[in-house]
């Protein structure tokens, strides 16, 4: 089996792991990565092993250890290209795709998306630094967050980032910083006018596959619709350069309609800002939220369908209102990186509770993937060193942490397993490493990037000594 394995579907699961993987002869470019359970380059090789990016997963574990995050470069680049090309195809105005780096912020990921023409959406000074060190231009970095400190705001200003203002505290802090700088630089030409956007709550709230429209949404993010005019009035009287507005309606969304509707909500604020307060906005950021496939039953729209829907909604709303099309920004995170990565574990022992359950343990768990215990998230997995083995048992994959709730996957069909087998969990690129912890004093795993038969380390595995690096032991406690 050497063709691309594009998806796993419940109805095709048969007697073996290999047979349950649906083949396709489509080119990588025609597949939307977010709709796939596996990275696009995944195959089963002649050794009956799972292979990604031309690299045998079993050999990767032998070389780098486990747990191990394995990122497929081709899948990540394909997603970036599909977003960018879809906007060129479906939106008549200017556009800019920003990678929501909270999904996974590291130098390699930021460098790849930056090289594909994407900007970076960041939510902390640490993410700003990562994007800058990865070579991303500060003009393409947009700084979000609901409680930015004055220090972080100053750093963002000095770096040249656009700041997405979330609340009154930030707005007034930025205005004060601008005034202070104006006084300090009154005899120089080095003054920097803060470039901002305003995050507004759009009144569209998504709940998995359904959404509601209300005048007020209970959220910690963004200005409430009832205070928009006061915000516009303040900005108009300030020295801030407000270039546009931002909204975000949720994440892991499969429905297209709410993303189409957001254009109609945002255009009314564009028009109000211009006609009543003289604010000439040029950019509209409609956030992200496109879902990915974690299990066979998930059926998210493709990247192109999402972009087409968003573009049509914004275009219709602005043309009907007699306004010029804005520069349209979006912030995909999960839909770019989620399905491009897998996590490989080494299986340890097993425990059978008669007539109830069989547990299979792995050498990781909630510290490298906190989503199952936090969100009850579901995943799919295979035994990577025996891909053609018969699916003969239903087991629960348990992590090694001292928590009874440290369960990665409950009731999954797998072949008979032995200690030392390699279990691979799919779709672990988003919010896995970025939310990883050192719970139980476990070092964080390594991460590698694979492509064209080569692998490269992108995050080193922590050591036990690394765990003590920030610890301090006062002299009076030393014996």
- Known catalytic residues are 402
According to DSSP, the residues that pair with 305 across neighbouring strands are none
The answer to whether 81 touches 313, Cβ cutoff 8 Å, is no
Other C-beta atoms closer than 10 Å to the C-beta of 366 total 24
3-state secondary structure 285-300: ECCCCECCCCCCCCCC
For 244, the token pair is 């546009």
Answer for the pair 241, 195: CB distance below 8 angstroms, yes or no. yes
Q: How far apart are CA 288 and CA 259, in angstroms?
A: 9
Q: What angle do CA 81, 82, 86 make, to 5 degrees?
A: 115
- Give, in degrees to the nearest 5, the angle at Cα 433 between 73 and 449: 20
What's the CA gap between 185 and 188, in Å, rounded? 5
Widest Cα–Cα separation across the chain: 81
Specify which residues 23 forms β-bridges with: 5
User: In angstroms, what CA-CA distances link 331 with 66, 91, 250, 294, 301?
Assistant: 31, 16, 11, 20, 16
Cα 109 off chain centre by:
11
């Amino acid at each position: 089996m050497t063709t691309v394995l594009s998806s796993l579907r419940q109805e095709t699961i048969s007697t073996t792991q290999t047979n349950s993987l649906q083949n396709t002869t489509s080119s990588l470019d025609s597949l939307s990565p977010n709709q796939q359970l596996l990275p696009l380059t995944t195959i089963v090789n002649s050794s009956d092993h799972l292979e990604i990016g031309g690299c045998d997963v079993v050999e990767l574990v032998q070389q780098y250890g486990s747990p191990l995050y394995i990122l497929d470069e081709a899948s990540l680049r394909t997603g970036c290209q599909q977003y960018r090309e879809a906007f060129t195809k479906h939106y008549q105005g200017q556009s800019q795709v920003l990678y929501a780096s909270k999904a996974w912020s590291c130098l390699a990921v930021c460098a790849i998306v930056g090289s594909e023409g994407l900007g970076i959406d960041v939510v902390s000074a640490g993410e700003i630094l990562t994007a800058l060190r990865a070579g991303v231009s500060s003009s393409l970095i947009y700084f979000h967050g609901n409680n930015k400190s004055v220090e972080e705001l100053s750093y963002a200003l000095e770096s040249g980032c656009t700041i997405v203002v979330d609340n009154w505290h930030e707005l007034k802090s930025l205005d004060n910083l601008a005034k202070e700088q104006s006084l300090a630089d009154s005899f120089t030409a080095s003054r920097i006018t803060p470039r901002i956007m305003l995050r507004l709550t759009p009144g569209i709230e998504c709940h998995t596959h359904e959404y509601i429209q209300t005048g007020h949404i209970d959220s910690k993010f963004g200005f409430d619709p009832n205070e928009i005019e006061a915000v516009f009035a303040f900005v108009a009287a300030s020295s801030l350069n407000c270039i546009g507005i931002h909204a975000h309606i949720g994440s892991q969304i499969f429905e297209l309609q709410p993303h189409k509707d957001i254009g109609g909500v945002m255009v009314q604020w564009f028009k109000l800002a211009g006609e009543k307060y003289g604010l000439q906005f040029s950019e509209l950021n409609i956030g992200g939220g496109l879902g990915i496939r974690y299990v066979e039953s998930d059926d998210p729209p493709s990247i192109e369908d999402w972009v087409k829907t968003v573009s049509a909604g914004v275009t219709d709303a602005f043309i009907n209102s007699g306004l010029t099309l804005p520069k349209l920004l979006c912030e995909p995170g999960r839909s770019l990186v989620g399905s491009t990565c897998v996590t490989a574990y080494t299986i340890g022992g097993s425990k059978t509770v008669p007539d109830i359950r069989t547990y299979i343990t792995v050498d990781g768990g909630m510290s490298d993937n906190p989503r199952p215990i936090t969100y009850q998230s579901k995943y799919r997995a295979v035994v990577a060193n025996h891909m053609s083995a018969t699916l003969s048992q239903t087991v629960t994959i348990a992590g090694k942490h001292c928590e009874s709730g440290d369960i990665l996957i409950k009731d999954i069909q797998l072949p008979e397993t032995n200690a030392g087998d390699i279990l691979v969990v799919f779709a672990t690129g988003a919010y896995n490493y970025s939310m990883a912890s050192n719970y139980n004093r476990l070092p964080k795993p390594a991460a590698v990037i694979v492509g064209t038969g080569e692998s490269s380390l992108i995050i080193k595995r922590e050591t036990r000594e690394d765990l003590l690096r920030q610890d301090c032991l006062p002299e009076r406690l030393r014996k």
